[in-house]
C-alpha cells in the first residue's frame, strides 16, 4: 500500500511539473508570437507548450548519481537539468513580465527569449534522458 501511495504521489508531481512546463511554454509562445508575425499561430503555441511539457516532465526530477568516491566527477545530467530549468523559467518569467507590463522590447530580445526557451528545455530533455538511461 505504501509503495502505491509513493508511486501515485510521484506521478502527481510529474504531471504537475509537466503542466508548469506547458504554462511556461504558453507564456513564451504568446510573447514571441505577438512580436514575430510568422509565429502567430496555434501550432507554434502548441509546439512551445509541448516542449515545456516534455522538458519539465523529464528534466526537473532526474535520478541523481550516488554521492561517493566512485562517482566524484560532476554529474552532467544534474548540471544540465539545473541549467536548463533556470534558463527556461527565467525566459518564461521575462515573457510574463513583457506581457503583463505591456512592454515593447527590441526584436533582438524576442529572439533571445525564443532561443533561451529552446535551449533551456533542450537541456532539460537531454538531462532527463541521460539520467534515465543510466538508472
pLDDT score at 25: 97
Can you give the residue range of the structural domain that contains 101? 2-134
Mean pLDDT (the chain, rounded): 91
Count of structural domains within the chain = 1
Confidence of residue 2 (pLDDT cuts 50, 70, 90): confident
The b-or-e profile of 64-73 (16+ CB within 10 A means b, else e) is ebeeeeeeee
**What is this structure's pTM?**
0.87
Whole-number percent of the chain with pLDDT over 90: 71
pLDDT in tens, 96-111: 999 999 999 999 999 9
Q: Which of 61, 50, 59 is nearest to 22 (CA)?
A: 50
Amino acid at each position: 500500500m505504501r509503495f502505491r501511495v509513493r508511486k501515485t504521489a510521484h506521478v502527481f508531481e510529474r504531471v504537475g511539473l509537466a503542466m508548469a512546463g506547458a504554462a511556461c511554454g504558453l507564456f513564451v509562445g504568446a510573447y514571441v508570437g505577438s512580436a514575430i508575425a510568422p509565429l502567430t499561430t496555434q501550432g507554434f503555441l502548441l509546439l512551445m507548450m509541448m516542449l515545456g511539457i516534455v522538458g519539465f516532465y523529464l528534466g526537473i526530477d532526474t535520478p541523481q548519481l550516488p554521492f561517493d568516491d566512485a562517482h566524484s566527477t560532476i554529474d552532467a545530467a544534474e548540471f544540465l537539468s539545473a541549467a536548463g530549468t533556470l534558463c527556461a523559467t527565467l525566459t518564461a518569467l521575462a515573457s510574463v513580465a513583457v506581457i503583463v507590463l505591456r512592454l515593447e522590447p527590441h526584436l533582438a530580445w524576442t529572439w533571445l527569449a525564443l532561443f533561451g526557451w529552446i535551449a533551456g528545455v533542450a537541456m532539460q530533455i537531454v538531462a532527463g534522458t541521460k539520467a534515465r538511461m543510466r538508472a
